[in-house]
Amino acid sequence: MTKKKILLNAFNMNCIGHINHGLWTHPRDNSTQYNTLEYWTELAQLLERGLFDGLFIADIVGVYDVYQNSVDVPLKESIQLPVNDPLLLVSAMAAVTKHLGFGLTANLTYEPPYLFARRLSTLDHLTRGRVGWNIVTGYLDSAAKAMGLSEQVEHDRRYDQADEYLQVLYKLWEGSWENDAVLNDRQQRIYAQPDKVHKVEHKGEFYQVEGYHLCEPSPQRTPVLFQAGASDRGLLFAGRHAECVFISGQTKASTKAQVDKVRASAVEAGRNPEDIKVFMGLNVIVGASEELAWAKHAEYLSYASAEAGVAHFSASTGIDFSQYEIDEPIQYVKSNAIQSATKHLQNNDWTRRKLLEQHALGGRYITVVGSPEQVADELESWIAETGLDGFNLTRIVTPESYVDFIELVIPELQRRGSYKTAYDSGTLREKLFHQGPQLPRQHTGSDYRH
């Protein structure tokens, strides 16, 4: 029986402090170079050498001002502040790679769909079909206020808006230009055939769009669609639209339950359960031996900032943890923040001490520590026991975390038959799903084609 091949994205962000906060102070970390092209082109080449499926770039609009009701800690520890635009990185990285995919986060709440469709089509052309879009609706009141709203749109209502946004995009990406619209005939002086290019007319609750898509069909038309909503409404949205779903697991049992829910949501939307690839965020600290790995773990801990991690988590939940005494039970409060983040606070059995312990490495993702064999054992175990397809691998110290994984873990996984030894040809969608470059027929987006 052929072993399931583990899919792998590098998880990063166009900023200094991403998930594991405080590690920017480590002497071997180069994340303060995030605002240079070389930082990104060298990273892209490194990841392609490791046969990573993609570079998943997170993003945030707004600032983390819930903790202490200020941005003091985010500014001092660079908790995703400053943060630059992720989409502008892609052209440079695509120019120095041939296969690496790019999962790009963009908040649809503040992006008009007509112009956004052009930006993604442009990148899909320039990368020859290596682009994915991580669909987010935002969760920060600071972003809403910065964009002229008095407060964040209510959680489920944001998904209603997102559903219509995707409708508009499908009409532009899938329906405006027919496959054979472009003739490119110099003798007849016809580049595109007018009868095969169609005006989009959308009159909805949130969007009014009348116009032609500005781009000819790109290799994938619709980029690979990523999403990370774990609420009931988020799962409904994922079942309809998502091709890759990103989850944050804490135990194998709870992760399996999440994976099963995601696959069930696809089936409810008339799709196949395997039409969605599920990735989990993960920290890996690996050494040539278990002893060396734990020594590295201890070294990293000495630079990490647990308080910065808790300040980040405050924004995710909408709860100011700084107002609680160290052992005082934290009261659950329903908010418009990330529903999955607040879920495990609902028992009111969490304290600030417990949160600081959880965030000892500056973030709250599962951390796998050990020799190459031990790490490979654990990754294979997570895949086998949960139904996951792969991982979003965080950076703890950059680029060291990726270098260590590529040099130590990947050869071990390849030896076991759990990881590819070469890239498949084709677009990002073809590499992930081994089907055609465009949305499959059972995906709702295909309904908008001519």
**Binding site members for FMN:** 59, 105, 155, 159, 231
The amino acid at 332: Y
Identify the burial level of 424 via C-beta atoms within 10 angstroms of its C-beta, where 0-12 means exposed, 13-18 middle and 19 or more buried.
exposed
Q: 3-class DSSP state for residue 114?
A: helix
Cis before 27 (ω within 30) = no
Distance of CA 154 to the CA centre of its chain: 22
Phi–psi pair at 344, nearest 5 degrees: -80, 0
Residues at the binding site are 59, 105, 155, 159, 231
Q: b vs e for 361-387, b when ≥16 Cβ sit within 10 Å of the residue's Cβ? A: bbbbbbbbbbbbbbbbebbbebbeebb
Q: How far apart are CA 360 and CA 301, in angstroms?
A: 7
Three-state SS at 184: strand
Query: 213, 117 in Cβ contact below 8 A?
Result: yes
User: What gap in Å lies between CA 193 and CA 9, rounded to an integer?
Assistant: 40
For the chain, give the number of residues. Answer: 450
- In angstroms, the Cα distances linking 250 to 4, 179, 185, 387 are 22, 45, 57, 15
Q: How far apart are the first and last CA of the chain?
A: 41
Residue 236 in tokens: 């409904």
User: CB of 124 within 8 A of CB of 30?
Assistant: no
Q: What is the enclosing helix (H) or strand (E) of 204?
A: none
